């Protein structure tokens, strides 16, 4: 009976099997398939509710709150997503997919490489700039914000940090792939591309995070600075005073 496992995928699979089971792949009605799409639609609605609540409350969003926003109660959330991590993951892939679409577009634009790199950086930074709440939710664990009456505990909150690494890793892998297929890096280029993919993503992320918090300069300027860094200006810069070995 598998009664300890609730999740959408499990049920969807069952539905598909039964659909394939009684042979008919009839076009218009097909109850099983219709049921499946209904489930998926519900799932999307729930995800949108979760999105709203996360955007509003930041990472201090409890399952109860999300369920309330969706107009239902906790257990059905658990039926759909298994656990909080499942919900989070579903939410995350939505946003990451959207971000990745933008990045791929920038990465594929038919302009010189430097411009392409700048466009990619700018796309990422624009994304985190225009939707900082989403960004914080995805990447950031509720940095201490000094509100909330002392009675309420400021703990809990989505366990977010626990999943930021996977996101960065996914971005890194994607970038690595693009680098690998577009640049001729000689022998061992595969490996090099992967290192660079992850490295560049990390650079973008850390710099973006800091920038978003301190806003020390314009976005365009940040893009220039980072592109300069990638273009080897670190190697080219002059020393300031001259220690022993310069």
Partner DNA sequence: GACTCTTGTTACCGCAAGTAACACTCGCAC
Partner DNA sequence: GTGCGAGTGTTACTTGCGGTAACAAGAGTC
Of the pair 85, 102, the CB lying nearest a second copy is at: 85
Binding-site partner at residue 38 among DNA, a second copy, none, CB < 5 to 8 Å by type: DNA
Q: Report the distance separating Cα 84 and Cα 64, nearest Å.
A: 11
Please count the CA atoms within 13 angstroms of the CA of 211 that sit on its side-chain side.
Answer: 23
- Of the candidate spans 24-32, 41-49, 72-80, 226-234, the one that interacts with a second copy by CB under 8 A turns out to be 226-234
- Are 203 and 222 spatial neighbours (Cβ–Cβ below 8 Å)? no
Nearest alpha carbon to residue 109 among 96, 89, 97, 123: 123
Of the pair 71, 186, the CB lying nearest DNA is at: 71
Binding-site partner at residue 37 among a second copy, DNA, none, CB < 5 to 8 Å by type: none
First to last CA, the chain: 72
Quick note: the x/- pattern for a second copy over 169-208, rule CB under 8 A, is x--x--------xxxxx-----xx-xxx-xxxxxxxxxx-
Of the pair 48, 209, the CB lying nearest a second copy is at: 209
Among 23, 28, 71, 112, the residue binding a second copy under the rule CB under 8 A is: 112
Q: Report the distance separating Cα 67 and Cα 137, nearest Å.
A: 18
Question: Should residue 220 be labelled a site residue for a second copy when binding is judged by CB under 8 A?
Answer: no
Quick note: the x/- pattern for a second copy over 71-110, rule CB under 8 A, is -------------xx----------------------x-x
Binding-site partner at residue 3 among DNA, a second copy, none, CB < 5 to 8 Å by type: DNA
Distance of alpha carbon 241 from the chain centroid: 43
Q: Report the distance separating Cα 143 and Cα 154, nearest Å.
A: 10
Q: Enumerate residues 6+ apart whose C-beta is below 8 A from 136.
A: 58, 59, 142, 143
Distance of alpha carbon 174 from the chain centroid: 12
Shortest distance in whole angstroms from residue 144 CB to DNA: 11
Shortest distance in whole angstroms from residue 218 CB to a second copy: 11
Under rule CB under 8 A, which residues in 2-21 are in contact with a second copy?
Answer: 4
Q: Site for a second copy (CB under 8 A): how many residues?
A: 76
DSSP for 28-81? Answer: S--HHHHHHHHHHHHHHHHHHHHHHHHHHHTT---HHHHHHHTTS-HHHHHHHH
Q: Report the distance separating Cα 182 and Cα 14, nearest Å.
A: 42
Shortest distance in whole angstroms from residue 147 CB to a second copy: 15
Question: Should residue 113 be labelled a site residue for a second copy when binding is judged by CB under 8 A?
Answer: yes
Binding-site partner at residue 62 among a second copy, DNA, none, CB < 5 to 8 Å by type: DNA
Shortest distance in whole angstroms from residue 182 CB to a second copy: 6
């Amino acid at each position: 009976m598998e009664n300890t496992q609730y999740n959408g995928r499990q049920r969807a699979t069952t539905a598909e099997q039964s659909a394939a089971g009684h042979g008919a792949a009839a076009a218009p009605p097909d109850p099983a398939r219709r049921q499946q799409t209904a489930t998926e639609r519900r799932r999307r609605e729930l995800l949108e509710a979760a999105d709203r609540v996360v955007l509003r409350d930041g990472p201090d969003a409890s399952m109860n709150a999300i369920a309330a926003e969706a107009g239902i109660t906790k257990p059905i959330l658990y039926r759909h997503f298994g656990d909080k991590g499942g919900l989070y993951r579903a939410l995350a892939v939505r946003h990451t997919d959207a971000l990745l679409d933008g990045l791929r577009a920038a990465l594929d634009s038919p302009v010189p490489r430097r411009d392409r790199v700048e466009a990619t950086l700018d796309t990422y930074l624009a994304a985190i700039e225009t939707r900082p709440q989403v960004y914080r939710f995805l990447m950031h664990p509720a940095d201490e914000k000094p509100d909330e009456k002392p009675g309420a505990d400021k703990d809990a909150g989505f366990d977010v940090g626990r999943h930021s690494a996977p996101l960065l890793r996914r971005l890194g892998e994607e970038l690595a792939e693009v680098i690998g297929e577009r640049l001729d890096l000689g022998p061992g280029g595969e490996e090099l591309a992967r290192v660079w993919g992850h490295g560049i993503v990390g650079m973008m992320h850390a710099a973006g995070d800091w920038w978003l918090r301190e806003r020390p300069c314009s976005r365009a300027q940040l893009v220039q600075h980072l592109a300069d860094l990638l273009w080897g200006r670190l190697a080219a810069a002059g020393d300031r005073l001259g220690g022993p070995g310069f």
